[in-house]
Chain A
């Protein structure tokens, strides 16, 4: 049973998260302040930390920095701050993922699973994600097709990575907006579509003649090894 530590000051969210994650099989502990959370993270050595940024004693970003100085526990930042500086700052400071409030337990759990999967072993040992001739080096943020490097924008890389992590599965556009764009509720399907179009171009295929990227009309998109 994975142990999750929630550092969240909001008295409404904390018990709800503890209950819902507990119901889904996690051993959940919680702290309402940054200092308490730090001390629990060091003493209890949880498998994952969910960290809010707006804490009453010290800012969550500082908690993250201090935590990273003593532990490599996976951290998902769960915050209402949706501006780029906060998001980028946290990821640069060592956060493994960032989820913008409001979120649902289902989304949070999917992220917990993904982060823990990635944290399952050293990156070198896991090697790059491979789908047919498509290779994705996640830590190095590089991708190549049949050995030729692909020139991808950061968003295109994240999209491709997410699809590769779910290779063979149909991923809905809403899921992509949530997981890649961090827009659980807003955002437009067409934003996903246009990025998929760009990705297709860079993979050297078209919507009419797909090879890796297959649109499942009305459902979503699937990344799969080309047939034949």
Chain B
């Protein structure tokens, strides 16, 4: 933002300076020409008087013209009819002859600038051309040799100074904008990583301060909602589990063992469902402001945790984790539960000695793919193993449903298929952090 502001100000100031300096330079040049023309007019008058005074004494006139021509940009020459000239530009041209013959002064544009031709009659008003020398004054257009260059350099320096001053001011202004915004961005970034740092000191423009206050209010609100939800879940847990306890205690009192066992099994199932409901209701409590964890690190941790059991059961247990960014949008506890459910399923539903493979790799667009597969008998045909309540081997049947929920809520998904050997293969894709 700071750089953009500086570039914008530099462009704007440069345009203003260009719009101001270019016409000024043109004006300066015109002014210098005007100045020379005025000087030339005065010199014409003075030389006219000198020619009249010295007459044919060209030596004195030559001295006079030397003095006159000492300045820059204006050259004065007196052209006599006998083709003799005094001054820096000898020789006559058609215009000179015309001026002499007509006795009329003229001003012409020439290559170098402007030319004054003023005939001076030495023999009164009716003097013949032979008695009429012509004063030629050539006024050169102001060029690099004139004082205009100095003025242009001064203007240029002034322009550069103005530009630098504007850039310094823009930088200061930018910093005064950027620093509070940066502090706010850092605050938001820390919130994004799940921490609640102390609020940044209110600083900067009112809009930024207002934004900071709004962000604070929003976080306060989210925390209040999370706390309310936590209390709500605690209450939900209490409300659901207390009557189940009463049911358990009543069931124990039943005289018929068969009836007691059936009701006990129903209560087991109900309890598992309640646990699942409570667990799901606690998801936002677990995730906090932002859900994020390193799924690859957790995969390594959980694989290491289950490895001793594999060893005890004589299973080949291979772990293949591709290094990379393992961050996913899910709470650590949930990803750990995903891995534990998948590994628990393998250990529960495959015979001892069956090979287990765990793999994990970062996905190209962020997130992680976790694969747990085995060489066991595979999933039963025609059964939706991710469906709630679909169970085998006495489990609650919520395992893969929990895995699917975590995967879906992270922006990924679950794929249950057969491994190359016909065993079970579960692929869990977890999305990248928000």
* Chain A residues engaging chain B, CB cutoff 8 angstroms: 10, 12-13, 16-17, 19-20, 54, 79-83, 100-106, 185-186, 188-191, 193-194, 197-198, 200-201, 206-208
Contact = CB atoms under 8 A, between A and B. Distances in A.
27 contacts: A10-B246, A12-B246, A13-B242, A13-B245, A13-B246, A16-B253, A20-B252, A20-B253, A80-B238, A80-B242, A81-B237, A83-B234, A83-B282, A101-B241, A101-B242, A102-B267, A103-B245, A104-B248, A104-B249, A104-B252, A188-B348, A188-B395, A190-B348, A194-B347, A200-B308, A207-B312, A207-B313
Interface stretch (B26-34, B203-211, B268-276): B268-276
B277 interface: no
Which size class do B's interface residues fall under? 35 or more
B249 A194 contact: no
A186 B275 contact: yes
Interface in B225-251: 234, 237-238, 240-250
B305 interface: yes
Contacts of B275: 185-186
A189 B312 contact: no
Interface string B255-273: 0000000000001100110
B317 to A, nearest CB: 12
Contact of A102 (B241, B308, B312, B347): B241
Contacts of B305: 194, 198
B347 A190 contact: yes
Nearest to B276: A186
Contact of B271 (A13, A186, A189, A201): A186
B416 to A, nearest CB: 19
Contacts of B249: 13, 16-17, 20, 104-105
A47 B154 CA distance: 102
B234 A81 contact: yes
A205 to B, nearest CB: 10
Nearest to A207: B312
A102 B311 contact: no
B343 to A, nearest CB: 8
Question: Ordered nearest first, which 7 A-B pairs have the shortest CB separation?
Answer: A197-B308, A80-B241, A207-B312, A12-B246, A102-B245, A16-B249, A102-B244
